[in-house]
Structure 1
Amino acid sequence: MTTERARVSLSVAPVYTGSELLAVMSARLLKDGQTVFAGVGIPLLAAILAQKTHAPGLTILFEGGVIGPFVEAGKLPPSTNEQRCSRRANMLVSITEVLLLLQRGYVDVGFMGGAQIDRFGNLNSSFIGDAENPKIRLPGTGGGNDIASLADMIVAMKHEKRRFVEKVDFITSPGFLDGGDTRAQAGLPAGGMFRVVTDLGILGFEAESRAMTVLALHPGVSADDIKANTGFDLPVPDDVEVTQAPTMDELAILRELDPERLYTA
């Protein structure tokens, strides 16, 4: 009887939040040996999760100048300029030196979010509406434009039609601009949008047109679901893959890092 009960319990799929799903799927995209420019919240959780699972040699870089921050479980920093992150870090440099590392090509992946994204991966985190009279003012670029201009980008965000728009109201951080080779023509030969991770699936960009396409759907999500939540025509291949749901081990690591569910609720 005990064995039978154990088998039943093991067959039950773990329950997870949309934020946990974003963190897990983003972490799986990071590779051992890479240097990732991560912000607080989901990007940092994903990077630490990758370190603790398949990428122990991943280096995390903060815009504030911390290279290889030491983050204690339950003590996630509220900002990339949080000086407690410098304790036991690998190296401390100035913000200028961080950007120089980026410009010299030492950063493999940039990781950020945004309020709007369009079919070519351009991100808006500046304002919603008309520039002269915006409906909503947003935080702005920070180092986002530098990162998106010089590194391969992973974006994690909720999949909603109001966020996935035909054309962003303002390009804060460049993706592939107008598609094709327009990014290179604008003087940005390196980097570009690599993946967009949402609570519905994982998106990539076609090699020639640079238009967004669906690479994989999350368990229980249909092609109609993701199309209905996108404000432009988003191709979904007939043989589209389905991602593996977050495992109990992955969720346990995230919940230990963020026990108060500040970022993973």
Structure 2
Amino acid sequence: MSDFTPTEMMTIAAARALKNTDVCFVGIGAPSSACNIARLTHAPDVTLIYESGTIGTAPSVLPLSIGDGELCDTAVTTVSVPEMFRYWLQGGRVTVGFLGAAQIDRFGNINTTVIGDYDHPKTRLPGGGGAPEIASSCGEIFITLKQSRRAMVDKIDFFTSFGHGEGGDHRARLGIATKGPTLMVTDLAVWRTDPVTHEFTVVLLHPGVTREMVQAECGWTVRFADEVGETPTPTELELTTLRDLNARTKAAHSGTNTGDAA
């Protein structure tokens, strides 16, 4: 099974970043897909936490929102939102926060609030939800999104979730002790933050992707690692698991599900 789409490559590459021992705060959308593929393949013991208070959830289909009943039904336990944030998140018990973004800059600062001027926006987005707290309190932050010059911008229109600010030691100067964004996986490449400047740097190109393709879909001048590798292609298990999950999800949310998902 060698044929795969850029979105499938992105999801699988992002999933590989999670370890069996991680406690992961999961964002809805692409992050949720990646985290559940990790759980269904190489990291069956990963603990997935959603903002609604579900801990150790193992949904058979991807949730549409944090309020999806599937999350509570399959969770080890469900706690109140204040306990989730005060005890689990701010208490330093979450190793990874997995987020998406409408806009992101080279230092991992995220905008999910507005496009354009705040008072007169071109587009008003869903907002931050718990993402600002996740970005500050999780041990580190992974980000996944499809590349475009509209999404990857030189300067975001609104700071919803703080990444590395202006770069360098900006987080430390603000008293934020967690690592912040360390990984970004797009449909074209895998990026890591530079240990000194904290600017995102391309370390792996997905199969068939060139440096020129990455730059064409990015609004800042892309930095590439001294040695850029190629992302390993998806395995048959990874692709089958992802496609089965997407099929179950589509059937469930379209009302055509005929039985319990495996």
* TM-score normalised to structure 2 length: 0.90
- The 3-state SS of whatever aligns with 2:82 is helix
Q: 1:193 aligns with which of 164, 181, 184?
A: 181
Q: 2:247 aligns with which of 228, 235, 259?
A: 259
TM-superposed deviation, 1:54: 1.7
TM-superposed deviation, 1:88: 3.8
Contact 2:103 2:112 in 1 (8 A): yes
**RMSD of aligned alpha carbons:** 1.6
Q: 1:122 aligns with which of 87, 109, 119?
A: 109
- Change in Cα spacing, 1:240 to 1:115, as seen in structure 2 (3 Å) is same
Contact 1:61 1:68 in 2 (8 A): yes
CA displacement, residues 125-159 of structure 1 (integer Å, 9 cap, x when unaligned): 00011122111110100000000011211111011
- The 3-state SS of whatever aligns with 2:182 is strand
Q: Residue 20 of structure 1 aligns to which amino acid in structure 2?
A: E
CA displacement, residues 49-91 of structure 1 (integer Å, 9 cap, x when unaligned): 212222122000010011011312xx33211122332124211
What is the aligned partner in structure 2 of residue 82 from structure 1?
A: 68
What is the aligned partner in structure 2 of residue 229 from structure 1?
A: 217
Contact 2:41 2:241 in 1 (8 A): no
Counterparts of 1:218 and 1:84, CA distance in 2: 33
TM-superposed deviation, 1:243: 0.4
Contact 1:70 1:86 in 2 (8 A): no
What is the aligned partner in structure 1 of residue 163 from structure 2?
A: 175
Counterparts of 1:60 and 1:260, CA distance in 2: 19
**Structure 1 runs not aligned, ≥5 long:** 1-12
* TM-score normalised to structure 1 length: 0.89
Q: Residue 72 of structure 2 aligns to which amino acid in structure 1?
A: S
Larger radius of gyration, structure 1 or 2? 1
**Structure 2 runs not aligned, ≥5 long:** 251-262
Q: Percent same amino acid among aligned pairs? A: 40
TM-superposed deviation, 1:188: 1.3
Q: Decide which moves more: 168-177 or 188-197.
A: 188-197
Q: 1:46 aligns with which of 19, 25, 34?
A: 34
What is the aligned partner in structure 1 of residue 122 from structure 2?
A: 135
Summarize the alignment of residues 97-176 of structure 1 with structure 2, pairs less than 5 Å apart. 97-100=83-86, 101-151=88-138, 152-176=140-164
Counterparts of 1:261 and 1:221, CA distance in 2: 29
Q: Decide which moves more: 81-90 or 241-250.
A: 81-90
What is the aligned partner in structure 1 of residue 82 from structure 2?
A: 96
Task: Name the count of aligned residue pairs.
Answer: 249
TM-superposed deviation, 1:23: 1.4
